[in-house]
Amino acid sequence: MRRNWDYRFTWVRDAAFTLRALHALGFDTEADDFLAFLGDVLEPQGGVMSGKRMRAALQVLYPVDGAGTPTESELDHLTGYGGSRPCAWVTRPTTRSSLTSLARSSTGVFEHTRSRDSLSERSWRIVVQAVETSLKCWKDPDRGIWEVRGEPQHFTFSKVMCWVAVDRGATVGGASRRTRSSR
């Protein structure tokens, strides 16, 4: 069976591409709003991030209202690419996210900061938690960029993306220090 997915959700791994596209098209206000949405879903529930960890159960995707991920279901009445069936709606819940989501969240802030020449405290907290979590978890198995079924495994791409999270964090942090010192 080929899997097809209903993409009416925000995938954390695609957030950087979304921000880049919004800025490239001149939708800077929408990019600001999208980053605020990411901050809402990435911050731990109940308050400000401690900088020590990502939200306890970072999901790989979020509906537009930021609520929890619904369970997976198949929509037999819909077809996917090339007429393939069934169409799977959302994804099955996972106990932990793909490590690639960490890099994508810090890359999203990197893209936004590069376009706006500014960095909010909230955006910085997103980067810090992604970097710290990447440094802590990079040796752990995960489900990879495609959220494979079965037991978590070690994926080279996931390990590289943890490095990307740290690199983007260092880049954003360095740019932020230069901006603050020039004021």
Backbone angles phi, psi at 57, to 5 degrees: -130, 65
SS3 153: strand
Query: Which pTM was predicted?
Result: 0.73
Backbone angles phi, psi at 55, to 5 degrees: -45, 140
* Residues 160, 164: Cα–Cα separation, whole Å: 6
Distance of CA 170 to the CA centre of its chain: 18
pLDDT above 70 covers a percentage of the chain that reads 74
Write the pLDDT tens digit of every residue in 44-68.
554 444 444 444 456 777 777 767 6
Which comes out higher in pLDDT, residue 57 or 105? 105
Q: Which token pair is 92? A: 């099955």
Cβ proximity of 22 and 104 under 8 Å: no
* Residues 139, 99: Cα–Cα separation, whole Å: 10
